[in-house]
């Protein structure tokens, strides 16, 4: 462990946390710190804070916090060993100087996947039928090379034999989902398929997709869930598209491998694919590191499109602007582009509609609006759509677009608007069922007491090494603080300050529990109050000390009652012990025998 700690210190000195975090989060200066949208939860107002001074980060929305190592581990789903190796390479630090290198499980899986990807790519070059298929799908050799496409042979154990010759651990290959164990032994998962290696943003092969060349089912087959690969978190092509997504300001999402590759070849380099699954909140969180704007180019009748429409509220809550690319009936991105209709596809992307507008457009196409009955049916369904819209302003915008279909439009536009609005609001009230009133009645958080403010002021002054802070160390003890968290925080801060004549926040956070660490991280990086002077610090220390003495006196008084089990450690009476308490007090002479109260 000592070697790891020494390596961490050297890496921290060479790699600034701002440089690492800014590759994933757009940061803007705010006072002494930098702020951006948190990559670990959905938010509309920036609460994610990075401190160059403390070399730490803290989200005031979700409470996540840490240093450059914990950030990389969390955002890339890495082990500490993997994060250490990644940052060491970046810093030019040779880990062998500090410790013997141990290969992690994820690294083993990644190496076997890379070995398999090279094997499949080599087979493709030697298999004319596979090359011909890709050429017929409109892919150029350069594109095939760029996406590292491969071919899995028809043989049942071609990859098994290849891995055996390479001395690979076949048990790890099973865990990677490359091979499967059956009644007759091990066999390849992918056979007679075009193979699509799936990369993460570090260019590691984390899994594979396979498209059958024959009639085998399923037509598309993905790797199973592994420690490296999850369909609900992974986006095909993000390693190639993330820069273009940031530059163009939005992500174009398609459903399949070929849709995505064809789009890239045609110049839509901000395109990624969801591997045949619906767009999930986990995908949104990944993409929010680069953009809040998404255009979905899904087949109109696909399950993915239906799920996206159902997920409109989820996208709004995540602060994400999701729009629908309306493709001509029966077409998908791949077919449009291969037919030479690139400009048509580009126009559809540029004219992508917000989800509610798309749903209303579908209703207008569904009903015969030349007849009163068709218009009435459309408005009835439209009211249900608008009842799902969370904001009043957005609902009003849509209502104004619908009034021309109302029977009263010609004689009274305002009356028509009011009637549509009334229908929508009635549905909203019915669905909420009073939930809004309950939410509104929740009590506001209690303001901090004078004692809590004093404790925070002292701890903050010590962490920031403000003038006069060191003087309070000799007048206070951790036991003087009012809660378990503040007492544990004070113990860690006092010990480190005494040993190092100051606080190094990344090390301090490693010494305490998660909840204490969150408290200290928030305390250090909040903008709560300016630096305080020595006199104010002394007054804060006096308040804490006096409170601690009072707590000790109270503890001495309550000790016998706690021992008897009549009250708990907080001084609260146990249930159904009032009679026991009365008897105890009478026996101890603290209550007259004839007292009935």
pTM over 0.75: no
For the segment 408-465, what is each residue's pLDDT rounded down to a tens digit? 777 678 888 888 999 998 888 887 664 444 444 444 456 778 888 888 888 988 888 8
Q: What is the mean pLDDT of residues 121-148?
A: 96
For the segment 241-261, what is each residue's pLDDT rounded down to a tens digit? 998 998 999 999 998 899 999
Q: What is the mean pLDDT of residues 273-294?
A: 85
82 neighbors 63 (Cβ within 8 angstroms): no
CA distance 290 to 281: 15
Look-up of token digits 């071609």 = 158
Exposed e or buried b per residue across 160-172, where buried means at least 16 C-beta atoms within 10 angstroms of its C-beta: bebbeeeebeeee
| Contact partners, residue 69, CB within 8 Å, separation at least 6 | 8, 80, 83, 84, 87
CA distance 510 to 508: 5
CA distance 583 to 325: 78
DSSP state of 404: G
pLDDT (0 to 100) of residue 260: 96
Q: Which of 79-83, 394-398, 507-511 has the highest mean pLDDT?
A: 394-398
Question: Which residue from 455, 523, 526, 449 is spatially nearest to 486, judged by alpha carbons?
Answer: 455
Q: Are 2-97 and 450-546 in the same CATH fold?
A: no
Q: How do the domains of the chain map onto residue ranges?
A: 2-97, 104-229, 357-433, 450-546, 552-587
CA distance 562 to 566: 6
Q: Tell the CATH superfamily of the 2-97 domain.
A: Zinc finger, CHC2-typedomain (3.90.580.10)
* Crossing angle of helices 2-14 and 68-76, rounded to 10°: 90
Q: What is the mean pLDDT of residues 80-92?
A: 85
Q: What is the mean pLDDT of residues 568-593?
A: 52
Look-up of token digits 């007492």 = 487
pLDDT (0 to 100) of residue 217: 87
SS3 364: helix
Say how far residue 201 (Cα) sits from the centre of its chain: 16
91 neighbors 15 (Cβ within 8 angstroms): yes
User: Span 450-546: which CATH code?
Assistant: 1.10.860.10
Question: Which residue from 320, 347, 324, 321 is spatially nearest to 336, judged by alpha carbons?
Answer: 347
Q: In this structure, which long-range contacts are made by residues 279-284, counting pairs with CB atoms below 8 Å and at least 24 apart in sequence?
A: 279/253, 279/304, 279/307, 279/308, 279/311, 279/322, 280/232, 280/233, 281/42, 281/314, 281/318, 282/230, 282/232, 282/233, 283/232, 283/233, 283/235, 284/42, 284/314, 284/315, 284/318, 284/320
pLDDT (0 to 100) of residue 97: 57
93 neighbors 7 (Cβ within 8 angstroms): yes
Between 96-100, 206-210, 362-366, the lowest mean confidence (pLDDT) is in 96-100
User: Span 104-229: which CATH code?
Assistant: 3.90.980.10
Look-up of token digits 């820069």 = 243
pLDDT (0 to 100) of residue 265: 97
């Amino acid at each position: 462990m000592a070697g790891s700690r020494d390596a961490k210190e050297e890496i921290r000195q060479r790699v600034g946390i701002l440089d690492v975090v800014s590759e994933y989060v757009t940061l803007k200066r705010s006072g002494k710190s930098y702020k951006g949208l948190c990559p670990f939860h959905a938010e509309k107002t920036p609460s994610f804070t990075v401190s160059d001074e403390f070399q730490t980060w803290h989200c005031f929305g979700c409470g996540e916090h840490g240093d450059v190592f914990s950030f990389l581990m969390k955002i890339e789903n890495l082990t500490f060993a993997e994060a250490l190796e990644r940052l060491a390479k970046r810093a030019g630090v040779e880990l062998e100087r500090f410790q013997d290198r141990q290969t992690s499980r994820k690294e083993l899986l990644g190496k076997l996947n890379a070995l398999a990807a090279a094997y499949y790519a080599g087979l493709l070059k030697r298999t004319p039928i596979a090359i011909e298929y890709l050429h017929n799908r409109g892919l150029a050799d350069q594109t095939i090379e760029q996406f590292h496409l491969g071919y899995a042979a028809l043989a049942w154990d071609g990859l098994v034999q290849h891995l055996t010759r390479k001395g690979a651990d076949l048990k790890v290959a099973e865990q990677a989902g490359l091979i499967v164990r059956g009644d007759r032994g091990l066999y390849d998962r992918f056979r007679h398929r075009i193979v699509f290696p799936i990369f993460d943003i570090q260019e590691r092969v984390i899994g594979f997709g396979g498209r059958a060349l024959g009639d085998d089912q399923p037509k598309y087959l993905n790797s199973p869930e592994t420690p490296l690969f999850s369909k609900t978190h992974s986006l095909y092509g993000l390693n190639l598209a993330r820069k273009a997504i940031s530059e163009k300001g939005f992500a174009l999402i398609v459903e399949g491998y070929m849709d995505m590759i064809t789009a890239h070849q045609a110049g839509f380099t901000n395109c990624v694919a969801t591997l045949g699954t619906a767009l999930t909140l986990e995908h949104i969180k990944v993409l929010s590191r680069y953009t809040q704007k998404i255009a979905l180019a899904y087949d109109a009748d696909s399950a993915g499109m239906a799920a996206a429409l159902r997920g409109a509220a989820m996208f709004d809550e995540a602060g994400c602007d999701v729009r629908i690319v309306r493709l001509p009936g029966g077409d998908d991105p791949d077919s449009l582009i291969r037919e030479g209709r690139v400009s048509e596809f580009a126009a559809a992307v540029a004219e992508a509609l917000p989800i509610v507008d798309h749903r209303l457009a579908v209703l207008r196409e569904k009903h015969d609006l030349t007849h009163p009955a068709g218009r009435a049916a459309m408005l009835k369904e439209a009211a249900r759509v608008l009842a799902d819209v969370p904001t009043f302003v957005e609902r009003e915008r849509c209502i104004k677009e619908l009034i021309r279909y109302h029977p009263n439009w010609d004689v009274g536009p305002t009356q028509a608007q009011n009637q549509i609005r009334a229908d929508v609001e009635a549905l909203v009230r019915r669905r909420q069922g009073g939930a809004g009133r309950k939410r509104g009645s929740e009590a506001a958080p209690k303001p901090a007491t004078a004692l809590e403010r004093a404790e925070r002021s002292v701890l903050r002054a010590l962490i920031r090494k403000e003038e006069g802070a060191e003087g309070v160390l000799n007048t206070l003890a951790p036991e003087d603080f009012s809660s378990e968290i503040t007492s544990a925080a004070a113990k860690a801060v006092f010990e480190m300050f005494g040993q190092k004549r100051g606080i190094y926040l990344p090390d301090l956070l490693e010494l305490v529990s998660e909840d204490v660490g969150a408290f200290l991280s928030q305390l250090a990086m909040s903008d709560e109050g300016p630096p305080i002077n020595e006199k104010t610090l002394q007054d804060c220390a006096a308040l804490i000390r006096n409170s601690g003495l009072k707590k000790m006196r109270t503890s001495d008084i309550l000790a016998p009652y706690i021992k008897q089990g009549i009250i708990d450690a907080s001084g609260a009476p146990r249930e159904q012990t009032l009679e026991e308490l009365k008897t105890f007090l009478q026996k101890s002479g603290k209550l007259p025998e004839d007292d009935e109260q």
